[in-house]
């Protein structure tokens, strides 16, 4: 079974020395072994003008091809920073106040999707299975279907699909649905998102649906809509977190911050991640619990993200101000309440932070799955406690986490105290159950299950 993967990012990147290496990431990890074994093509956008449009990889003994869709800066601004990240991203996360609805965004998005579809059509061979990824490519499936009516095609949506009442706010919502229904199989992290999609198709397009089965009847075809929760590469994180280097760095982290209890938050600096709300909740925790002054510190990592977008620039300013305010009010001679790092870390470094944490604060205002949750659980010691937003996909699968409403600032402050004071036996019981669940969510199993379902569609079952 040859595979055509269609994704925003390519699976290989060029080092400063000019060498080509595979990129780090769950999608690459899960799908490159399939491409290497069975052959195929990975279609992605080309952001740099000097990159080859077609590249067989590895060069010395190729087993798959990278096909790039070259984009000008104007196209990148409209398609990626505009429609994808200033329209579809906030809408899907219920952040409608951040919508930037410009006609030129929609037009660039449509044009780039057409070019992606053209690239797929040119690479397609009879019998190929096509797997599209995420919210950057909603028009492309229907365009490929027009050219190849019998193609087997799936799509995985990596963020939430919002309730129909929210999705219909979007001008062009019906066009996006029609594009997505070019697929045979559409996957989401959890049942809630799958049900939201089916309802959107039924109400906005008048499609005939079978709700319990998650089937949409469209243009003489059956489109199956299913939950396929994604995981991480568990084995690699386990090995990394148990390495001597990470254990040594873990001790250094604990010594650097010097707190009896270390609360850790690790996020992209994105308004969906709830970093500002989390800081305010920690501030309330300190106000309500003076006995913990000097004993508890928050270590917040914020990875720079979409720095070209004004709403992200504003968020950074607000987070900087909140950190300064909290430290200015509560810091003592030898104690800093909030240690804030606005930078990117390696996965090894992140593993040392996970292991050093007594408590992980993972409190997005909305999130499709949240893989940091699974990384923390995999790397954490048996003393680690996780406070998890109930508005993440992960919350459906991890009931042993302390679940909170991220909008409930007082409730989150109380959860911090509960986590710090949790008895050792309860800590061990919770983290062991969480580790077992995450091991079963392995990213390789996710890819295999989805591709098995696509293979079954190809065989007509």
- Low-confidence stretches of the chain (pLDDT < 70) are 460-461
pLDDT, tens digit (0-9, with 9 covering 90-100), for 289-305: 999 999 999 999 999 88
Contact 306, 270 (CB under 8 A): yes
Q: How far apart are CA 191 and CA 350, in angstroms?
A: 30
Contact 42, 5 (CB under 8 A): yes
Contact 279, 416 (CB under 8 A): no
pTM exceeding 0.85? yes
Tokens, residue 297: 């510190």
The reported pLDDT for the residue numbered 42 is: 96
pLDDT, tens digit (0-9, with 9 covering 90-100), for 70-104: 999 999 999 999 999 999 999 999 999 999 999 99
Q: How far apart are CA 381 and CA 378, in angstroms?
A: 9
Q: How far apart are CA 406 and CA 392, in angstroms?
A: 10
Cβ neighbours around 59 below 10 Å, total: 8
Domain ranges of the chain: 3-231+444-458, 234-440
Largest CA distance in the chain: 72
HSE (CB half, 13 Å, CA atoms) of 335? 18
CATH topology agreement for domains 3-231+444-458 and 234-440: yes
Please report the DSSP string for 253-314 in residue order. HHHHH--SEEEEEEEES-GGG-HHHHHHHHHHHHHH-GGGTTTEEEEEEEE---TTSHHHHH
Q: Which fold has domain 3-231+444-458?
A: Rossmann fold (3.40.50)
The reported pLDDT for the residue numbered 439 is: 95
The highest-level CATH class for domain 234-440 is alpha beta
The reported pLDDT for the residue numbered 461 is: 52
Comparing CA positions, the residue from 330, 339, 189 lying closest to residue 266 is 339
The reported pLDDT for the residue numbered 460 is: 65
């Amino acid at each position: 079974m040859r595979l055509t993967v269609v994704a925003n990012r390519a699976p290989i990147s060029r080092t400063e020395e000019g060498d080509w290496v595979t990129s780090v990431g769950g999608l690459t990890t899960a799908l490159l072994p399939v491409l290497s074994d069975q052959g195929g093509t990975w279609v992605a956008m080309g952001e740099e003008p000097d990159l080859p449009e077609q590249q067989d990889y590895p060069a010395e003994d190729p087993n798959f091809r990278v096909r790039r869709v070259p984009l000008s800066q104007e196209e990148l601004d409209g398609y990626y920073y505009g429609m994808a990240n200033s329209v579809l991203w906030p809408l899907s996360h219920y952040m409608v106040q951040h919508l930037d609805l410009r006609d030129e965004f929609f037009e660039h998005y449509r044009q780039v999707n057409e070019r992606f579809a053209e690239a797929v059509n040119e690479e397609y061979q009879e019998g190929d299975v096509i797997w599209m990824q995420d919210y950057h490519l909603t028009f492309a499936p229907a365009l490929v279907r027009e050219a190849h009516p019998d193609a087997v095609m799936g799509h995985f949506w990596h963020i939430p699909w919002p309730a129909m009442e929210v999705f219909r706010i979007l001008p062009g919502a019906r066009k996006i649905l029609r594009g997505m229904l070019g697929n045979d199989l559409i996957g989401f992290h959890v049942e809630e998102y799958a049900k939201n999609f089916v309802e959107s198709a039924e109400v906005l397009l008048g499609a005939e649906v079978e709700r319990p089965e998650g089937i949409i009847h469209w243009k003489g075809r059956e489109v199956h809509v299913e939950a396929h929760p994604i995981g991480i590469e568990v084995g690699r994180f386990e090995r990394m977190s148990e390495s001597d280097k990470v254990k040594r760095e873990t001790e250094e982290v604990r010594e650097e911050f010097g707190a009896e209890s270390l609360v850790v938050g690790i996020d992209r600096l994105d308004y969906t991640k709830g970093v500002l709300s989390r800081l305010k909740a920690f501030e309330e925790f300190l106000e309500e619990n003076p006995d913990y002054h000097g004993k508890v510190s928050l270590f917040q990592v914020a990875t720079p993200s979409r720095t070209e977008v004004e709403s992200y620039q504003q968020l950074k300013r607000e987070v900087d101000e909140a950190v300064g305010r909290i430290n200015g009010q509560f810091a003592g001679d030898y104690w800093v309440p909030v240690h804030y790092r606005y930078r990117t870390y390696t996965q090894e470094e992140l593993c040392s932070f996970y292991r050093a944490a007594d408590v992980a604060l993972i409190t997005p205002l909305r999130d499709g799955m949240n893989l940091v949750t699974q990384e923390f659980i995999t790397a954490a010691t048996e003393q680690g406690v996780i406070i998890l937003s109930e508005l993440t996909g992960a919350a459906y699968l991890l009931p042993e986490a302390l679940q909170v409403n991220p909008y409930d600032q007082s409730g989150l402050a109380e959860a911090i105290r509960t986590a710090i004071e949790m008895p050792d036996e309860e800590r061990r019981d919770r983290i062991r159950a969480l580790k077992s669940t995450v091991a079963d969510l392995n990213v390789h199993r996710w890819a295999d299950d989805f591709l098995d379902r696509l293979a079954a569609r190809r065989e007509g079952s």
